[in-house]
Chains A and B, each alone.
Chain A
Amino acid sequence: MTINDIWDVFVLGMVLGSLYAVIAIGYTLVYGVLQLLNFAHSEVFMAGGFGGLIVLTLVEPVAAPSGVQSVGYVLLGMAGGAALGGTVAYFLEKVAYRPLRRRRAPRLVFLITAIGASFFLYNLAGKIFGRNAVPMPSAYENKRVLTVFGTSLNITQLLILGSAVVMLLGVDYVVNRTKLGSGIRAVAQDPEVASLMGVDIDKVVSRTFVLGGLMGGVAGFLFGTNVQVFPTMGFLPGVTAFAAAVLGGIGNVRGAMLGGLLLGVVEAFTVDLVGDEWRYVGAFAVLVLVLMFRPTGILGERVARAA
Chain B
Amino acid sequence: MLTKRLVKFAIPFAVGALALTACSDDGDGGGGDGSTFKIAYQGPLSGDNVQLGVNMVNGVKLAIQEANESGDYDVEFELVEADDGGEPGKATAAAQSAIDAGVIAVVGPAFSGAAEVAAPNYAEAGIAALTPSATRPDLTEKGFATFLRGVPNDAEQGKAISDFFVSEGVTKAVVIDDTGDYAAGLADVAQSHLEEAGVEVVRESVPDDTVDHSGIARTVTESGAEAVAYTGYYAQAGPLAVKLKEAGYEGLALGGDGVKDPQFLSLAGDAAEGWYFSCPCRDLSTDEKGQDFIDRYTAEFDAEPGTYSPEAYDATQMIIEAVAELGDGADAKSVYEALAAGTHEGVAKTLSFTETGEYNGSGIYLYQATGGAITALGNVTDVVGG
Contact = CB atoms under 8 A, between A and B. Distances in A.
A170 interface: no
A271 B215 contact: yes
Interface of B: 1, 48, 50-51, 54, 179, 204-207, 209-216, 218-219, 222, 235, 238-239, 246, 263, 266-269, 303, 306
A95 B212 CA distance: 33
Contact of B216 (A130, A142, A276): A276
Contacts of B211: 16, 223, 227, 236-237, 240
21 contacts: A8-B218, A12-B212, A132-B51, A133-B238, A133-B267, A135-B238, A154-B246, A227-B212, A227-B239, A228-B235, A228-B267, A230-B235, A237-B211, A240-B211, A268-B215, A271-B216, A271-B219, A272-B219, A276-B206, A276-B207, A279-B207
A156 B246 CA distance: 10
- Nearest first, the 8 closest Cβ-Cβ pairs linking A and B are A271-B215, A277-B205, A276-B206, A131-B51, A132-B51, A133-B235, A227-B239, A135-B267
A133, A240, A267: most-surrounded residue (chain B CB, <10 A):
A133
Contact of B206 (A227, A272, A277): A277
A12 to B, nearest CB: 5
A118 interface: no
Contacts of A135: 238, 266-269
Nearest to B179: A277
Given A131-B50, A135-B267, A275 B205 contact: yes
A156 B222 CA distance: 21
Contact of B215 (A12, A126, A130, A240): A12
Nearest to B47: A232
Contacts of A189: none
Given A16-B214, A228-B238, 12 more contacts: A131-B51, A131-B54, A132-B263, A132-B306, A135-B268, A156-B246, A223-B211, A226-B212, A236-B209, A236-B211, A276-B215, A276-B216
A186 interface: no
A9 interface: yes
Interface in A238-297: 240, 267-268, 271-272, 275-277, 279
A95 B7 CA distance: 14
Given A133-B238, A228-B239, A275-B204, A15 B214 contact: yes
A78 B287 CA distance: 43
A236 B212 CA distance: 11
A133 B267 CA distance: 8
A138 interface: yes
A292 B116 CA distance: 42
B141 to A, nearest CB: 27
B88 to A, nearest CB: 20
Contacts of B215: 9, 12, 267-268, 271-272, 276
Contacts of A131: 50-51, 54
Contacts of A126: 50
Contact of A277 (B207, B263, B306): B207
Nearest to B176: A276
A232 to B, nearest CB: 6
A227 B246 CA distance: 12
Contacts of B239: 227-228
Interface of A: 5, 8-9, 12, 15-16, 95, 126, 130-135, 138, 142, 144, 154, 156, 223, 226-228, 230, 232, 235-237, 240, 267-268, 271-272, 275-277, 279
A271 B219 CA distance: 9
A16 B216 CA distance: 14
A5 B215 CA distance: 12
Nearest to A230: B235
A227 B303 contact: no
Nearest to A278: B205
A223 B303 CA distance: 24
A95 B239 CA distance: 36
A134 B235 CA distance: 9
User: Which of A8, A235, A272, A277 has the largest number of chain B CB atoms within 10 A?
Assistant: A277
Contacts of B54: 131
A164 B314 CA distance: 49
A218 B219 CA distance: 29
Given A276-B204, A276-B205, A277-B205, A130 B214 contact: no
A12 B210 contact: no
A197 B212 CA distance: 46
A268 B246 CA distance: 17
Contacts of A15: 214
B59 to A, nearest CB: 15
A236 B226 CA distance: 32
A161 to B, nearest CB: 13
Nearest to B2: A95
Contacts of A142: 246
Given A133-B238, A276-B206, A276-B207, A227 B213 contact: yes
Most buried by B among A9, A95, A223, A226: A226
A177 to B, nearest CB: 33
Nearest to B301: A130
B238 A9 contact: no
Q: Which of B179, B211, B239 is the most central at the interface, judged by chain A CB atoms within 10 Å of its CB?
A: B211
Nearest to A126: B50
A163 B54 CA distance: 37
Contacts of B219: 271-272
A165 B214 CA distance: 21
A306 B238 CA distance: 41
A16 to B, nearest CB: 5
